[in-house]
Amino acid sequence: MDNAQCPSGVCRQCPRNCGVLRAAGAIGYCGMPAELYVSRIAPHRWEEPPISGTCGSGTVFFTGCSLRCVFCQNRDISRTRLGTPLTEEALARRLLALADSGVHNINLVTPTHYTEPLARVLEKVKPRLHIPVVWNSGGYECPATLRRLDGLVDIYLPDFKYASPALAGALSGAPDYPETAEAALAEMYRQVGGVQFTEDGTLLRRGVLVRHLVLPGCRRDSCAVLGRIARLLPVRDIRVSVMSQYTPDFLDPGFALPETSRAELERQGIRPALRRRLTDFEYRSVLDEADRLGITGYRQGRASAQALYTPDFKEGIVQEEQL
């Protein structure tokens, strides 16, 4: 939300509703002050085919996150301040330069906790952009905050991680995730409508592409997620990317189940399951459910479950002389 919605200047941009004065240097759940921190600006070729295309997606990775996923592959930047502080003017210049480099879109990654400053940046650059703007988030968003982006974002690329509040609480620290993600997804669809592709059908120009990562031991929850999506939106109007790239390499070594859901999740064997890779049977069963529901979209080869597909943020930090 902007300051008009929060006269005191407190931050309520994400569902955590921290209410801290980030502009005064206070730190919210996201771990970040109000100042924009960017960890990487570069073409990225490992998104879904209609996002990456042949020339790559123009990704801008932001530091910090309002979720605490125990399997986060971007932990280097989601839980630290590994990045470069940028003014809104400097970021606007970088977005225009990135667009001119030949990428297919501007892809804002983990942007939720910076919604208001990013909306101001997009208001400045949008009239000069000739490519779509992608909002690439964890799906944990406030509809009221998303409304600030109406007319500024062309493609929403959210996760829909969980259907189970217990699982969402244990693995991402957000038991309210399922209903929150549903409300956010409905608002995203309201803004951009059904998918629109380029004339040759290769690149997404507008619409919603939902991502879901199938976790080991959680195939039933994955099927429930697909069911939620199919009940919420017309499946012909959206695309869903069912991902198999989970790797235990990124699992938090100190991961422990919360007391409130420990018994339930222990019975499901969640903790030992997360220490292994996804099986072919688990992934195939979720794909079969997608087919049954009439969901179309994108699927991953099993080779994607490798740490090498994660950007090296230590090498990709934006340097001041590059701005």
Distance of CA 323 to the CA centre of its chain: 25
Tens-digit pLDDT profile for residues 251-276: 998 888 888 889 989 999 999 999 99
CATH of the domain at 151: 3.20.20.70
DSSP string, 220-263: HHHHHHHHHHHHHS-GGG-EEEEE----GGGS-TT----TTTHH
Q: Is residue 318 in a domain?
A: yes
Q: Is residue 131 in a domain?
A: yes
Q: Is residue 81 in a domain?
A: yes
Q: CB of 67 within 8 A of CB of 31?
A: no
pLDDT at residue number 317: 44
Determine the length of the chain.
Answer: 323
Give me the phi and psi of 43, to 5 degrees please: -60, 145
Domain that holds residue 215: 35-322
What is the count of structural domains for the chain?
1
Which regions in the chain score pLDDT beneath 50?
1-7, 305, 317-323
Q: Is residue 104 in a domain?
A: yes
Q: Is residue 167 in a domain?
A: yes
pLDDT at residue number 313: 54
Q: Is residue 19 in a domain?
A: no
Q: Is residue 17 in a domain?
A: no
Q: CB of 52 within 8 A of CB of 72?
A: no
Tens-digit pLDDT profile for residues 290-305: 999 999 999 987 655 4
